[in-house]
């Protein structure tokens, strides 16, 4: 019996991970696609006049089994993959693309939706229903419903090609990350590394059956080495290995894949009547068009560049005292950390004992409790996909069930780098039931060792707060329709809930809740809190410039005609000439491992991190003014932003919360750029 095709007989209808085998996926997808097609046929063949209920609502709730299987499969393919799973992904991605196209290119179905759309003002719909109808109509038009038969076939081919290219890109980056290993056998090579990092490296080597220390490209190994290792040659070796993933002219090379993805996206946009892929994407964003985005990025660039250049000079001068005449990228983290220590007497390693992972997690739970009355209870009778993953039941102070929350914190072979929030089940309302969501956050923090628990850097603390902000957006969802629920919002709005929560990590009232020394239980001293706050804007100009360079690179690939592009490195050099502070590294490229914009959903959307920073700085200014745990403001934020998902235009939701449009001044002030 295939567990993916049964109703899950589990607590809160959670995924029965331990019963699911790789062999279940392909037959489950095949059957679920068949079922979903039958549901679509039933809508199309209905002889009654189309209504919102018999067409739009039926379409919204069709394919529920397929959605569930897809969320389980693709989440596992990111967090717990293997060769077999990757092979299945290659086989089923084209099937899913074809199925999606079969729906969106179904002329009879579109005719019904179009009929409803043309008379939408007479249908007596509420705001959410209007949004759903508009979203469906646009979704069909934006996916080729108005195209000729020949053009529809071309679109199908393009979509299949893109689905395969994106998968291949991800697999290549993962393979390159996993294949690099730096074994060190002489302890002097580890000079400068904190004891905990050395211990973790020793543990990694032992797992490979070797004596010595193993450094990898996984963030918990890579970042501390780049930050603390005094051996400049080894830092260089590691940095170059990290920077040349997908750029080595080997079987995992992504250069052609980058060019193919950009060119196929451009062709697709043209076919649908858009000038570029960015024009297509931004039509459904707060920014609305490439001109707004480019102006936004360039305007910030003008404001940030003088600060960045001044900071860079300061860093180079500081390194010169150490005999470094030609300052390079592999010197950046090392000398930044040293300079920060000198300027603020702040050492990330001295902070780490106050940030035991379990305590930080309880900290974000406490913040969620104070703001939104949520209670998190770890549960052992909800199945997880790996022994490292923890499951929690989330209730409110009235005892009502709100969500299932999964937390997956440590790196392993089958897990991609970075940190993200995802969902195993959306929230929706149907038949008088409010069906609650299953939300997960996935990070890559240092594993506990024999002598130390998992201790986070302050940067990792803010990462945890960030992903948990996304999770709150998912958990507090309260809409009727799943496709408008939780984080199903415009992509330049989706980072607001995550980025605003980072602000709490810098506040004394928050840190006092959880920042306790893991050995003595002593609360973090006030002088350390003051130093954290003072150092918050350290090298902010350089950090801003870096983010802007990624946003501008994204717009170069997606906001122009890439037909004549043929050398990835050449494109990058042109874009980075405006933002580069460091000498170029010939062996390295950014695009070939830029997972956010090539396989990920941020194509023509990387600017949204900065865009959302404007929103979060402006929104948090209200909390600062009224009190960071002010229940009234928290309630307004929950009611107008977190629970509303994509049911209305984001700017309208934001203005409902804030009472005005956002101002860039709050960001510039917070970043110390004015």
**Residue 484: its pLDDT value, please?**
98
Instruction: Please state the separation of Cα 579 from the chain's center in Å.
Output: 24
Catalytic residue among 467, 495, 572, 613: 467
pLDDT digits (tens, 9 = 90+) for 487-522: 999 988 999 999 999 999 999 999 999 999 999 999
**Residue 96: its pLDDT value, please?**
94
**Residue 417: its pLDDT value, please?**
86
- Averaged pLDDT for residues 341-359: 93
DSSP state of 505: G
Tell me the C-alpha distance between 89 and 77, whole Å.
8
Q: Does the 3-146 domain belong in CATH 3.40.630.10?
A: no
Tell me the C-alpha distance between 496 and 487, whole Å.
10
**Residue 347: its pLDDT value, please?**
85
pLDDT digits (tens, 9 = 90+) for 30-75: 999 999 999 999 999 999 999 999 999 999 999 999 999 999 999 9
Most distant pair of Cα atoms in the chain: their distance? 82
Residue 666 has pLDDT above 90, yes or no: no
User: Burial of 274 by CB count in 10 Å (0-12 exposed, 13-18 middle, 19+ buried)?
Assistant: middle
Instruction: Please state the separation of Cα 195 from the chain's center in Å.
Output: 31
Backbone angles phi, psi at 661, to 5 degrees: -75, 155
CB 615 within 8 A of CB 661: no
Inter-axis angle of helices 149-179 and 83-104, to 10 degrees? 160
Percentage, residues of the chain above pLDDT 90? 93
Nearest C-alpha neighbor of 296 from the set 662, 565, 563: 662
Tell me the C-alpha distance between 414 and 440, whole Å.
17
Give the residue ranges of DSSP H helices in 7-82. Answer: 22-44, 58-60, 64-79
Kindly indicate the confidence band of residue 378, based on its pLDDT and cuts at 50, 70 and 90: very high
- Averaged pLDDT for residues 139-143: 92
Output the pTM of the full model: 0.86
Tell me the C-alpha distance between 200 and 213, whole Å.
8
Q: Is 182 helix (H, G, I), strand (E, B) or coil?
A: strand
Those residues whose C-beta lies under 8 Å from the C-beta of residue 637, and which sit 6 or more positions away, are 371, 500, 619, 657
Kindly indicate the confidence band of residue 600, based on its pLDDT and cuts at 50, 70 and 90: confident
CATH class of the domain comprising 280-352+540-605: mainly alpha
Within the chain, all domains assigned CATH 1.10.1370.40 are found at 353-536
pLDDT digits (tens, 9 = 90+) for 534-548: 898 999 999 999 999
Residue 321 has pLDDT above 90, yes or no: yes
Residues facing residue 391 across a β-bridge? 379, 406
DSSP state of 508: H
- Averaged pLDDT for residues 377-383: 97
Tell me the C-alpha distance between 456 and 6, whole Å.
41
Tell me the C-alpha distance between 11 and 7, whole Å.
12
Instruction: Please state the separation of Cα 403 from the chain's center in Å.
Output: 20
* Residue 467 bears catalytic tag: yes
Q: Is 429 helix (H, G, I), strand (E, B) or coil?
A: strand
What own/partner pairs with CB < 8 Å and gap ≥ 24 does 620-623 have? 620/500, 620/503, 620/666, 621/666, 622/658, 623/503
**Mean model confidence pLDDT for the chain:** 96
Instruction: Please state the separation of Cα 103 from the chain's center in Å.
Output: 28
Q: Does the 353-536 domain belong in CATH 1.10.1370.40?
A: yes
Q: Residue 666: enclosing H or E segment and its boundaries? A: helix 665-670
Strands 438-442 and 401-408: parallel
**Residue 491: its pLDDT value, please?**
86
Residue 674 has pLDDT above 80, yes or no: no
pLDDT digits (tens, 9 = 90+) for 254-296: 999 999 999 999 999 999 999 999 999 999 999 999 999 999 9
Inter-axis angle of helices 22-44 and 107-118, to 10 degrees? 60
Residue 665 has pLDDT above 90, yes or no: no
Nearest C-alpha neighbor of 15 from the set 69, 89, 63: 69
Tell me the C-alpha distance between 99 and 36, whole Å.
9
pLDDT digits (tens, 9 = 90+) for 413-461: 899 888 999 999 999 999 999 999 999 999 999 899 888 999 999 999 9
- Averaged pLDDT for residues 389-395: 98
Percentage, residues of the chain above pLDDT 70? 100
Within the chain, all domains assigned CATH 1.20.1050.40 are found at 3-146
Kindly indicate the confidence band of residue 668, based on its pLDDT and cuts at 50, 70 and 90: confident
Angle at 170 between CA 167 and CA 173, to 5 degrees: 150
**Residue 663: its pLDDT value, please?**
85
């Amino acid at each position: 019996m295939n567990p993916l095709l049964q109703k899950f007989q589990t607590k809160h209808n959670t995924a029965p991970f331990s019963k699911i085998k790789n062999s279940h996926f392909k037959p489950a997808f095949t059957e679920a696609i068949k079922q979903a097609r039958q549901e679509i046929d039933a809508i199309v063949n209905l002889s009654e006049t189309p209504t919102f209920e018999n067409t739009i609502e039926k379409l919204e709730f069709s394919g529920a089994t397929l959605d569930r299987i897809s969320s389980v499969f693709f989440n596992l393919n990111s967090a717990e993959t293997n060769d077999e799973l990757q092979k299945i992904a290659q086989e089923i991605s084209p099937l899913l693309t074809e199925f999606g196209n079969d729906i969106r290119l179904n002329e009879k179905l579109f005719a019904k939706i179009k009929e409803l759309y043309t008379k939408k003002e007479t249908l007596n719909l509420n705001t959410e229903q209007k949004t759903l109808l508009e979203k469906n109509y646009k979704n069909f038009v934006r996916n080729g419903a108005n195209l000729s038969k020949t053009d529809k076939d071309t679109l199908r081919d393009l979509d299949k090609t893109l689905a395969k290219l994106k998968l291949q890109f991800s697999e290549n980056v993962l393979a390159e990350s996993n294949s690099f290993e730096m074994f060190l056998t002489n302890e002097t090579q580890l000079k400068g590394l904190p004891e905990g990092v050395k211990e973790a490296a020793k543990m990694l080597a032992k797992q490979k059956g070797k004596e010595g220390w193993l450094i990898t490209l996984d963030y918990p190994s890579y970042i501390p080495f780049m930050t603390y290792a005094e051996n400049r040659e080894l830092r260089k070796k590691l940095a170059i290995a990290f920077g040349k993933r997908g750029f080595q002219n080997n079987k995992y090379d992504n250069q052609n894949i980058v060019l193919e993805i950009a060119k196929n996206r451009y062709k697709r946009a043209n076919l649908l009547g858009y000038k570029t892929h960015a024009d297509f994407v931004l039509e459904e964003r707060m920014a609305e068009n490439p001109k707004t985005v480019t102006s936004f990025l360039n305007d910030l660039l003008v404001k940030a560049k003088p600060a960045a250049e001044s900071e860079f000079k300061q860093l180079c001068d500081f390194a010169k005292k150490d005999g470094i005449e030609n300052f390079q990228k592999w010197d950046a983290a090392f000398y930044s950390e040293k300079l920060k220590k000198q300027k603020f007497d702040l050492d990330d390693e001295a902070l780490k004992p106050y940030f035991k992972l379990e305590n930080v997690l309880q900290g974000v739970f406490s913040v969620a409790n104070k703001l939104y009355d949520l209670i998190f209870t770890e549960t052992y009778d909800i199945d997880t996909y790996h022994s490292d993953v923890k499951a929690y039941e989330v209730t409110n102070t009235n005892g009502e069930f709100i969500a299932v929350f999964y937390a997956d914190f440590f790196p392993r072979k089958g897990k991609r780098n970075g940190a993200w929030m995802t969902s195993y089940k959306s929230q929706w309302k149907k038949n008088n039931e409010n069906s609650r969501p299953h939300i997960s956050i996935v990070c890559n923090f240092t594993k506990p060792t024999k002598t130390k628990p998992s201790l986070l850097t302050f940067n990792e603390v803010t990462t945890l707060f960030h992903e948990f902000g996304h999770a709150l957006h998912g958990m507090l969802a309260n809409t009727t329709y799943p496709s408008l629920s939780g984080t199903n919002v415009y992509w330049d709005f989706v980072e607001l809930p995550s980025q605003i929560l980072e602000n709490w990590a810098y506040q004394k009232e928050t840190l006092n809740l959880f920042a306790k020394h893991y050995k003595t239980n002593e609360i973090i001293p006030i002088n350390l809190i003051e130093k954290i706050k003072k150092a918050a804007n350290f090298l902010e100009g350089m950090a801003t410039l870096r983010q802007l360079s990624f946003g501008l690179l994204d717009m170069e690939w997606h906001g122009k005609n890439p037909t004549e592009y043929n050398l990835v490195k050449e494109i990058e050099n042109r874009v980075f000439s405006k933002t580069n502070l460091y000498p170029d590294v010939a062996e390295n490229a950014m695009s070939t491992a830029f997972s956010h914009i090539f396989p990920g959903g941020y194509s023509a959307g990387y600017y949204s991190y900065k865009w959302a920073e404007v929103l979060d700085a402006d929104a948090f200014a209200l909390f600062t003014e009224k009190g960071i745990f002010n229940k009234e403001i928290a309630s307004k934020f929950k009611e107008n932003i977190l629970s509303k998902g994509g049911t209305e235009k984001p700017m309208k939701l934001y203005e409902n919360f804030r009472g005005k449009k956002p101002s860039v001044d709050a960001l510039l002030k917070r970043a110390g750029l004015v």
